[in-house]
Each structure stands twice: as C-alpha cells, then as structure tokens.
C-alpha cells in the first residue's frame, strides 16, 4: 500500500461525496495504491450512512465509527493504527483542505522529509479564528524553535515511522510537528490552498484558545522533561528552598540579637517557601519513580537506521 488518507469527521454528511471523489481523482492521476480511512467521531447526522454508501462505489474506503465523540486527536490516533500505507496523509473532512495538494505533499516527503505540514498561507476563515491562530503559531514557534507557520493545519503527510512512534491523545494533534521534531524527525512545510467551509460549521470554538495553551505547556513539559522530571521540579524546589532558607536565617539572626520576630510577615514567607520547595522536590521524585517503573517497557529513543 502506497498511501493511507486518514480523515476524522464529525457531522460532515454534505461534504463526504465530493471529498471522496476529489481524493480519488487526485490519487489516480499519480497512479498510487491507496486507502481512505474515515473515522466517524460520533456524528449525529447521516455521515456514517453516507460513508457506507460511498464504500460501494469506492472499495478503498475503510470506516471506523466511534461510539461517541472522542475528539480529533483520538480519531487521528485510531486512523493511524489502522493505516497500512508507507505514507500517511491526514486531511479535514470539510473540504477546506484541497485533495489536489496530495501529490505536492508526496513530492516533499520523497525529497527527504519525514513530516510535511500544510501552510494555509491565504486562509478563508473568520478573523475570530485567524487572529488567535496567528498568536498560537507565533508562541509555539518561539517556544519550540520549530520554523513552521501553521502547526494546526489538518493537511499533513507523514512517513509511517513517524506515526508509529508518536503519541496522539488529549488534544495533542495540534502539536504533532513538535513531537515529531523532538523525536529527531525532519519536519518541513509547503504552502497549500485553503477553501471556505461549504457545508456545516466549525467544531472548535473560542474554548480552544485556552486549552491550546494548556496543551502547549504539556508538550513543552513532555518533550523536555518527560524522562527527567526531577531536573525541572528539583530546580524549582532548590530555588524556593534556598530563598526560604536565607530569609529564615536572617530572621534567626535577628532573633538571636534579641529582636522579636513573631509579628514579621517575612518569617511566614520564608517558611512557606521552604515547604513549597520540599513539595516540588517530592513531586520530581514521584515523577522519577513513575518513569523508572515504566522504563523496562519503553526505553525512550528513536532509531533512524540499523546495519548488522
């Protein structure tokens, strides 16, 4: 199998027929063997029925139907597990991503990339979406050091090694390029065409502004400190305890000199900092314990090549 096209969808009944037809056209042109994996993420419209109908005409279709809505990350994850292709392409189901870009993505992968992300340079979304998105991309670029413009583009292509190694849970689908880059994969981007949503409406509201940044924190933490939590918590603990120690030392000196310190707020602060510091330390140690008990099963590295 050459290509697996993984498409998560939630209530997109009106787009599916045109989408399937256009994918089929695009892939046939370049004469590749392919499969389309639709993941129905708990649709309440006729999306599932529609896909089953389409499957009669397009036997390349595979469909996974979730019992309820589990979110885009879960849907992608299920699709990735099912995918048999050497290259996996993900795409939104709402026709905003253009199937005609598939050959361009493949070309970029074949030039040596492991993950190619689309960049919706000219975007057809309301300002309420594009503005937060700009901020989100800017911050992510700044904090992760990865030079791509559009982390959250639905249209992406992966070599199969990439998806077999990446964890996609929660809402981490926005950060797949970050996780891949951290694992040592080559990540790049190409400019892709973007279209207005024709049918239905967007599934992500303003809430994602907040949750997106929580996820960024998670990603920064798991990429940098996943294997060594004590390095982070230990440092925070050390800083907090040291400051607390010197404050209380100063208090002790005053006390020995005969000054009353019972009414000094500074005493409280010093003690508080020492307690917080000790808590950071214990948190780091518990983290280390979790890792060491798991490490037997998953030692953390990623192999590019092996010659015997």
| Contacting positions for ligand UDP (CB under 6 A) | 8-10, 12, 41, 69, 71-72, 75, 92-94, 96, 154, 202-204
Strand partners, 65: 40
* Main-chain phi, psi angles of 217, to 5 degrees: -60, -45
Number of residues that bind Mg ion (CB under 5 A): 3
Cα atoms in the Cβ-side hemisphere of radius 13 Å centred on 285: 7
Taking the least distance from each CB to ligand UDP, the nearer of 89 and 93 is 93
Taking the least distance from each CB to ligand UDP, the nearer of 118 and 284 is 118
Taking the least distance from each CB to ligand UDP, the nearer of 197 and 228 is 197
State how far the Cα of 253 lies from the Cα of 221, in Å rounded to an integer. 40
* Main-chain phi, psi angles of 185, to 5 degrees: -80, 155
Residue 94 in the binding site for Mg ion (CB under 5 A): yes
Strand, coil or helix: 30: coil
Taking the least distance from each CB to Mg ion, the nearer of 96 and 140 is 96
Q: Residue 277: which of Mg ion, ligand UDP, none does it interact with, CB under 5 to 8 A by kind?
A: none
State how far the Cα of 259 lies from the Cα of 239, in Å rounded to an integer. 28
Tokens 């994850």 belong to: 77
CB atoms within 10 A of CB 128: 12
State how far the Cα of 232 lies from the Cα of 280, in Å rounded to an integer. 9
* Main-chain phi, psi angles of 306, to 5 degrees: -145, 125
Which residue stretch of 95-103, 105-113, 263-271, 279-287 sits at the interface with Mg ion (rule: CB under 5 A)? 95-103
Q: How far is the CB of 30 from ligand UDP (least distance, A)?
A: 23
Token digits for 20? 């399937």
Taking the least distance from each CB to Mg ion, the nearer of 75 and 274 is 75
Q: Residue 237: which of Mg ion, ligand UDP, none does it interact with, CB under 5 to 8 A by kind?
A: none
Answer yes or no: are the C-beta atoms of 108 and 188 closer than 8 Å.
Answer: yes
Taking the least distance from each CB to ligand UDP, the nearer of 57 and 199 is 199
Give the list of residues 6+ apart from residue 214 with CB closer than 8 angstroms, or none. Answer: none
Token digits for 69? 């809505």
Taking the least distance from each CB to ligand UDP, the nearer of 26 and 75 is 75
Q: How far is the CB of 134 from ligand UDP (least distance, A)?
A: 14
CB atoms within 10 A of CB 211: 13
Q: How far is the CB of 64 from ligand UDP (least distance, A)?
A: 11
Q: Residue 93: which of ligand UDP, Mg ion, none does it interact with, CB under 5 to 8 A by kind?
A: ligand UDP
Q: How far is the CB of 50 from ligand UDP (least distance, A)?
A: 13
Question: Of 170, 126, 172, 130, which is closest to residue 150 (Cα–Cα)?
Answer: 130
- Contact residue for Mg ion among 20, 43, 90, 96 (CB under 5 A): 96
Q: In the stretch 40-79, what mask flags binding to Mg ion with x, by CB under 5 A?
A: ----------------------------------------
Residue 101 in the binding site for Mg ion (CB under 5 A): no
What's the count of helices (H) and strands (E) in the chain, helices before strands?
A: 10, 7
Q: How far is the CB of 199 from Mg ion (least distance, A)?
A: 11
Residues in the site for Mg ion, rule: CB under 5 A?
92, 94, 96
């Amino acid at each position: 199998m050459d290509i697996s096209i993984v498409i998560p969808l939630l209530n997109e009944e009106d787009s599916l027929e045109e989408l399937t037809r256009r994918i089929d056209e695009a892939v046939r042109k370049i004469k590749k063997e392919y499969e389309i994996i639709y993941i129905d993420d708990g649709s309440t419209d006729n999306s599932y029925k529609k896909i089953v109908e389409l499957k009669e005409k397009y036997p390349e279709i595979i469909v996974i139907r979730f019992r309820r809505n589990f979110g885009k990350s879960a849907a992608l994850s299920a699709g990735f597990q099912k995918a048999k292709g050497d290259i996996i392409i993900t795409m939104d189901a709402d026709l905003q991503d253009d199937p005609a870009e598939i050959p361009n993505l493949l070309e970029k992968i074949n030039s040596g990339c492991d993950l190619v992300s689309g960049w919706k340079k000219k975007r057809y979304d309301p300002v309420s979406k594009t503005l937060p998105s700009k901020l989100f991309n800017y911050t992510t670029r700044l904090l992760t050091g990865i030079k791509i413009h559009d982390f959250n583009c639905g249209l992406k292509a992966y070599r199969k090694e990439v998806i077999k190694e990446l964890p996609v849970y929660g809402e981490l689908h926005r950060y797949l390029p970050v996780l891949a880059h951290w694992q040592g994969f080559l990540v790049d981007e190409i400019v892709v065409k973007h279209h207005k949503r024709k049918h239905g409406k967007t599934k992500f509201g303003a809430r994602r502004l907040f949750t997106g940044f929580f996820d960024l924190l998670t990603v920064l933490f798991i990429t940098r400190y996943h294997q060594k939590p004590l390095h982070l918590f230990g440092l925070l603990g050390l800083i907090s305890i040291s400051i607390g120690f010197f404050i209380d030392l100063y208090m002790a000196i005053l006390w020995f000199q005969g000054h009353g310190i019972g009414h000094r707020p500074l005493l409280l602060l010093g003690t508080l900092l020492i307690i917080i510091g000790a808590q950071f330390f214990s948190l780091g140690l518990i983290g280390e314990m979790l890792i060491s008990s798991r490490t037997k099963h998953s030692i953390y590295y990623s192999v590019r090549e092996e010659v015997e």
